[in-house]
Amino acid sequence: MFRIVREAIEPAALESAVRSGDGGAVTFVGIVRSRADDGRPVTGLSYEAFEPMAIREFRIIAAEARERFGDVAIAIVHRIGELRVGEIAVAVMASAVHRGEAFDACRYAIDEVKRRAPIWKEERYADGTADWRANP
């Protein structure tokens, strides 16, 4: 399951899409923080994406994770639009026969999504200003 959504992300529903029934399942959720990296209070975020390219990149990342870590099922969902502090912006789920591979695949997937996916974030601050933030 690879999606860009405008509605709230439900991690339990996504997890059921990748769980194989035995072994390990790992879920990562990225939540809108109340403070920017520089300490300024954040009131929310706005995400934009080039959706077809982002979905394609999610699929490529999942395929790479399978090549690296074996038989791993992965789901990646990212929200776009206006988000408030405390809302889920991204969720990655990985399931494998062994927990180590599930952890490794999940971490690889979220790190690569942040690095490569054409998704952009504008941080809005309590003082009324806003900045587009580059992915690491």
CA–CA separation, 56 vs 53, rounded Å?
A: 5
CATH architecture of 2-127: Alpha-Beta Complex (3.90)
Burial tier of 37 (Cβ tally within 10 Å: 0-12, 13-18, 19+): exposed
- What does the domain layout of the chain look like in residue ranges? 2-127
Q: What is the pLDDT of residues 58-101, one digit of tens each?
A: 999 999 999 999 999 999 999 999 999 999 999 999 999 999 99
Q: Which helix (H) or strand (E) holds 54?
A: helix 51-69
Q: Where are the beta strands (DSSP E) in the chain?
A: 2-5, 24-31, 42-49, 73-79, 81-84, 88-96, 119-125, 130-133
The pTM of this model reads 0.94
Q: What is the pLDDT of residues 14-65, one digit of tens each?
A: 888 887 667 899 999 999 999 999 999 999 999 999 999 999 999 999 999 9
- Cβ contact 48:132 at 8 Å: no
